[in-house]
Amino acid sequence: MSEVAELCSELLRIDTTNDGSGDGPGERRAAEYVASLLAEVGIEPVVFESAPRRTSVVARIPGDSRDALLMHGHLDVVPADPAEWGTHPFSGEISGGCVHGRGAVDMKGTLAMTLAWARENARRGVRPRRDLVLAFLADEESTGEYGAGHAVERHRDLFEGCTEAISESGGFSWYEDGVRIYPVAVGERGTAWMRLTARGVPGHGSKPAVDNPVAELARALARLADHRWPVRLTPEVARLIDELSRALGRSIDLDRLEEEIERIPRAAALFKGVLRNSANPTMLDAGYKVNVIPGTAEAHVDGRFLPGQRDEFLETVDRLLGPKVTREFVSFEEAVSSPAEGLFDELTAALLAEDPAGRPVPYVMTGGTDAKWFARIGIRGYGFAPLLLPPALDYFGMFHGLDERVPVEGLEFGVRVLDRLLTTG
């Protein structure tokens, strides 16, 4: 079995569940394992904690250029219920040509590729073309405050010289009509996680309500959920659609995108989630007894906005909520974008060197990653975790889904692409 598959399996066996409460196992065991793998081949790790068990690892590999590239990924994973899985989510089982477990795609498989590449080149004494900073971080699956946020705020010196970064959610193969497409992320929508509060007049549930905050909040949430956000075609998404048109050899009508989404559903999966802003109610909390009208009601909303759309997004949210519902941010991160040139061209060249038939395209993520934290200190981020996947494997469905798995051959492909990018050029 290849080293990358073994490393992925071992990482998956370590439970690093992060449900956002802070009560989980934390990332310490995984971080210590990663640190030992680096130290074993002479790469000196720096291990630090932002809170008990919330552990991260950073290491620098000297290269031929001091212009450093950051390669960052997260050690934590979202929860998984073993009763819902075909294999135990923390088994790391290798079967059917895949490594199975929570985090196989998001994103311990990518960490395993990074480690396998770094260890092999350290053993061979090969220097990368530029300085590399490897970061294995806590807490990305929540707000990132205990991982990338802490690293940026308290350990900024570890990222000295870093101007660009690569991480998750890009470089994977995706298919439409037999064409193998590789979306490389050049941007992310902004994040606005909000707590909504309605206040009213408490009273007996059998009496006519004077001002029921539960009803007020419910009406506001319905307006928010029912709102049809307008299409806002950003330059990054427009280029993605243009490149998809070229790759597929067919025109995609920008004035009829809804129809195009139906016509080319798999290719459209790369852009349909980034045509608009969005705001989805996700949590409700109100009342404590069936016959008591409470004085307050709360809800949480996952808001996402496109680059350049923050003000319009927030103005629309406030209008839909109305004057009786207030909002506050649980987490807020600006949308980020990077140029589809320079490093982007190097990333696509590395993919094409291993898969000449592939068609790399720029891509904007619907969600967010730790790239937003590093953007605060001037590091431009790209989503690039190269994987060659079979057409039948639903890559997007693996994220936070059941029976998450990654093909061994896909991991091995990723290591070769990283070597093209980092060593051979």
SS3 call for 332: strand
40 among known catalytic residues: no
Contact criterion met (CB below 8 Å) for 293 and 199: no
* Per annotation, catalytic residue among 27, 76, 164, 243: 76
Give 108's DSSP letter.
Answer: I
Contact criterion met (CB below 8 Å) for 137 and 74: yes
d(CA 3, CA 120): 9
Cβ-defined contacts of 283-286 (< 8 Å, 24+): 284/217, 284/221, 286/213, 286/214, 286/217
120 among known catalytic residues: no
Q: Which amino acid is at 389?
A: L
d(CA 5, CA 307): 37
d(CA 219, CA 210): 16
Using CB atoms within 10 A of its CB, is residue 21 exposed (0-12), middle (13-18) or buried (19+)?
Answer: exposed
SS3 call for 368: coil
d(CA 193, CA 367): 12
* Per annotation, catalytic residue among 131, 139, 140, 419: 140
* Residues designated catalytic: 76, 140
